[in-house]
Amino acid sequence: MNDEPLVLGIETSCDETGVAVVRGTTLLADVIASSVTEHERFGGVVPEVASRAHLEAMSPTIDRALRDARVTVRDLDAIAVTSGPGLAGALLVGVSAAEGLALAADRPLFGVNHLAAHVAVGRLVDGDLPSPAIALLVSGGHTSLLRVDDVTAEITPLGATLDDAAGEAFDKVARLLGLPFPGGPHIDRIAVEGDAGAIAFPRGLTSARDDEKHRHDFSFSGLKTAVVRWIEACRRDGHEIPVADVAASFQEAVVDVLTSKAVRACREEGIETLILGGGVAANSRLRAMAAERATGLDLRIPPARLCTDNGAMVAALGSALVAQGRPPSNPGVGADSSLPVGTVQMLGLS
């Protein structure tokens, strides 16, 4: 008999319907249905389209995850679901499904924070997270530097982006370069053929003055504007846009700032573990530069598939909450589209 908690996790905060089953820190099943192709022609995620796609995908995705894990609903010890932050309608589809399942099977329900789940997913790869740790969370909607004393209860923001999220900057620049949505993976791929030193794009919030006021914060809107201006000037002069060089130089500017601030935070706080999480942590240059710079640190980066949105991260956080003996959420936990990063679990009204 295995007495580690068996937890089903449901993720629907954006365009991915993710359902996974985890036992302790072992991933048993991980199923993702994505509506990304339905959003492609709009150049961004359309909330109503995402909600409808979640509704259609929800039951089959849950069934498939249970089948893959060779368990039934009755075997589960708990159900975890993303309660926020994210798109309100999309979140509600996942939360309603989880509430229904928990009620029908008479199992505890944990409404969890999507951002904390991006950090917790590392448990499935390297085991429980050492405490304290610094986490660099880089996704389409968020970019934060966090101090994690306990992924189930104590996450403290050290800094965040003042404007665009890192993934958002990738997606916007990709659009300028005529690449499909979401642009991050396309920039990553094309940058390999470019020269990262070709164009000296600005590194936001790294001046001596910013180091005082915004030491752990980020800003990517100035970089985005610099890319726009550079492309406009190139067109004006009648030159062909060197897409690979622009992609590589832009990516280098983002990754340079992210890794230098994350590593510096570890060294200043005397913290030895650095965790990367969120969709942008799938970026190959970010992974390589973090490894170069994090000398002497315990650097933890989940495989790319676990960095982008999925149900495994939600199940991983759920199983950590159960293992820590945290109380479940109330049955009608609901969703909060702007749940702050420090609130790991939503308890809901009793």
> Which residues make up the interface to ligand KG4 (CB under 6 A)?
14, 139-141, 167, 170-171, 182-185, 188, 278-280, 282-283, 308-309
Nearer to ligand KG4, 102 or 219 (CB): 219
- Cβ of residue 3: shortest distance to Zn ion, in angstroms? 31
Which partner from the list Zn ion, ligand KG4, none does 30 bind, CB cut-off 5 to 8 Å by kind? none
Q: Which of Zn ion, ligand KG4, none binds 171 (CB below 5-8 Å, type-dependent)? A: ligand KG4
- The nearer residue to ligand KG4, 86 or 328, going by C-beta atoms, is 86
In the complex, least distance from residue 16 CB atom to Zn ion, rounded to whole angstroms: 8
Query: 107 or 118, CB closer to ligand KG4?
Result: 118
φ/ψ of 35, rounded to 5, equals -100, 15
DSSP 174: H
DSSP annotation string for 15-80:
SEEEEEEEETTEEEEEEEEE-HHHHGGGTS--HHHHHHHHHHHHHHHHHHHHHHHT--GGG-SEEE
* Chosen from Zn ion, ligand KG4, none, partner binding at 141 (C-beta under 5 to 8 Å by type): ligand KG4
Q: What's the min distance (Å) between Cβ of 162 and ligand KG4? A: 18
CB of 278 to ligand KG4, least distance (A): 4
Is 36 or 234 the residue whose CB approaches ligand KG4 more closely? 36
CB of 251 to ligand KG4, least distance (A): 8
182 binds, among Zn ion, ligand KG4, none (CB under 5 to 8 A by kind): ligand KG4
In this complex, which beta carbon is closest to ligand KG4, that of residue 284 or of residue 330? 284
83 binds, among Zn ion, ligand KG4, none (CB under 5 to 8 A by kind): none
Tell me, what DSSP letter sits at residue 158? E
Q: How far apart are CA 234 and CA 254, in angstroms?
A: 21
How many Cβ atoms sit within 10 Å of the Cβ of residue 128? 13
Of 282 and 299, which CB lies nearer to ligand KG4 in the complex structure? 282
Strand (E) or helix (H) holding 106: none
Residue 49: how many CB atoms within 10 A of its CB?
A: 15
How far is the C-alpha of 316 from the C-alpha of 161, rounded, in Å? 26
Q: What is the DSSP string of 275-304?
A: EEESGGGG-HHHHHHHHHH-TTSEEE---H
> Edge-to-edge strand order for the sheet containing 6-11?
26-34, 16-23, 6-11, 78-84, 109-113, 345-346
In the three-class reduction of DSSP (H, G, I as helix; E, B as strand; rest coil), residue 305 is classed as: helix
The residues that touch Zn ion, with contacts defined as CB under 5 A, are 139, 309
Residue nearest to Zn ion (CB): 139
Torsion of Cα atoms, 196 then 197 then 198 then 200, to 10°:
110
User: What are 277's strand-pairing partners?
Assistant: 137
Cβ-based nearer residue to ligand KG4, 271 or 310: 310
| Shortest distance, position 281 Cβ to Zn ion, whole Å | 10
Distance in Å, CB of 228 to ligand KG4, minimum: 18
